[in-house]
């Protein structure tokens, strides 16, 4: 596994100590290029806020709280704010929507006896463009928040069905990649992963995973991230109601 030194991110030590389960109500309604969309409900949770928030604590060299914050508490509001940040509006919503509408493999046509690529699919974009960036970040000791595409849909209302995780390590066996991720749905477990083969990026690629969700992983991209201050927020060592 490629990891940083002793300060490397490890979910069991650096992630929130609770899973992505929240009250059955929209956490926030955001304005996107496709209209107002409610995200962060009980089904989809606050995965982006938890991934970004855990990374914020890691940058601050603080340990996130073990207990889930109460709705309306400072930490809850922080996670919701980081959820909004993780969408990188309006550009991020557009990127999710574009990827939702891409084919898994490349689209091609036959032209004068030659195969011409007309559109790159999710597999090629993930393997050839995003994975090298993730690998470079991890090799430099920096975890990468990922936007994970789970659906193929032209319905903007399904933007919130996609997922977000934090990639912090990887292992290689030939062309097989196992990407180690913090999944907010799973909690602070060190054995969560996304695996894929890089040998045929132009073809539909199977991304196997043990993320705690029933949907498939179709591909992923690196989310735009900037650290946010956790000053004044509770830590695992501080007693607080959240």
Residue 164 has pLDDT above 80, yes or no: yes
CA dist., res. 99 & res. 56, Å (int): 27
Average pLDDT over residues 173-202: 97
How does pLDDT run across 58-114, given as a tens digit for each residue?
999 999 999 999 888 999 999 989 998 999 988 888 999 999 999 999 997 888 888
Per DSSP, the three-state class of 176 is strand
Q: What is the pLDDT of residue 43?
A: 45
Residues contacting 107, CB < 8 A, separation 6+: 117, 118, 119, 121
Q: Is 240 contained in some domain?
A: no
Q: Which domain does 92 fall in, by range?
A: 11-222
Instruction: Say which range, 48-52, 84-88, 101-105, 138-142, has the weakest mean pLDDT.
Output: 84-88
Classify residue 39 by burial, with Cβ atoms within 10 Å: 0-12, 13-18, 19+.
buried
Q: Is residue 231 part of a domain?
A: no
The rounded Cα 135 to chain-centroid distance in angstroms is 15
In a domain, 147, yes or no: yes
Closest CA to 164 of 76, 91, 82, 102: 82
* CA–CA dist 234, 200 (Å, integer): 46
Domain contains 4 = no
Question: Does pLDDT of 35 surpass 70?
Answer: yes
Q: Quick check: is 2 in a domain?
A: no
Q: Residue 34 above 90 pLDDT?
A: no
Sorting pLDDT into bands at 50, 70 and 90, what band is 7?
confident
Is a pLDDT exceeding 80 seen at residue 32? no
177-179-183 Cα angle (round to 5): 155
Q: Is residue 29 part of a domain?
A: yes
Q: Is residue 201 part of a domain?
A: yes
What is the token pair recorded at 109? Answer: 């046509």
- How buried is 223 (Cβ within 10 angstroms: 0-12 exposed, 13-18 middle, 19+ buried)? buried
Domains contained in the chain, number: 1
Q: For residue 234, is it within any domain? A: no
Model pLDDT, residue 60: 96
Count of alpha carbons within 13 Å of 186, Cβ hemisphere only? 22
């Amino acid at each position: 596994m490629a990891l940083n030194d002793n300060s490397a991110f490890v979910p069991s030590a650096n992630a929130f100590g609770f899973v992505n389960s929240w009250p059955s109500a929209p956490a926030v309604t955001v304005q996107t290029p496709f209209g107002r969309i409610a995200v962060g409900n009980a089904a989809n949770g606050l995965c982006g806020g938890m991934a970004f928030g855990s990374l914020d604590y890691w940058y601050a060299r603080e340990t996130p709280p073990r207990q889930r914050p109460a709705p309306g508490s400072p930490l809850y509001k922080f996670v919701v704010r980081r959820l909004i940040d993780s969408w990188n509006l309006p550009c991020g919503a557009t990127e999710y929507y574009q990827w939702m509408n891409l084919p898994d493999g490349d689209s091609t046509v036959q032209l004068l006896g030659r195969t011409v690529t007309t559109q790159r699919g999710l597999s090629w974009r993930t393997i050839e463009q995003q994975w090298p960036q993730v690998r470079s970040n991890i090799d430099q000791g920096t975890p990468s928040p990922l936007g994970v595409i789970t659906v193929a849909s032209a319905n903007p209302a399904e933007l919130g069905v996609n997922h977000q995780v934090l990639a912090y390590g990887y292992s290689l066996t030939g062309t097989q990649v196992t990407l180690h991720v913090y999944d907010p749905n799973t909690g602070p477990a060190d054995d969560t992963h996304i695996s894929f083969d890089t040998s045929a990026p132009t073809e539909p690629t199977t991304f196997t995973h043990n993320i705690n969700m029933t949907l498939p992983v179709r591909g992923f991209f690196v989310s735009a991230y900037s650290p946010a201050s956790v000053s004044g927020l509770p830590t695992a060592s501080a007693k607080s109601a959240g």
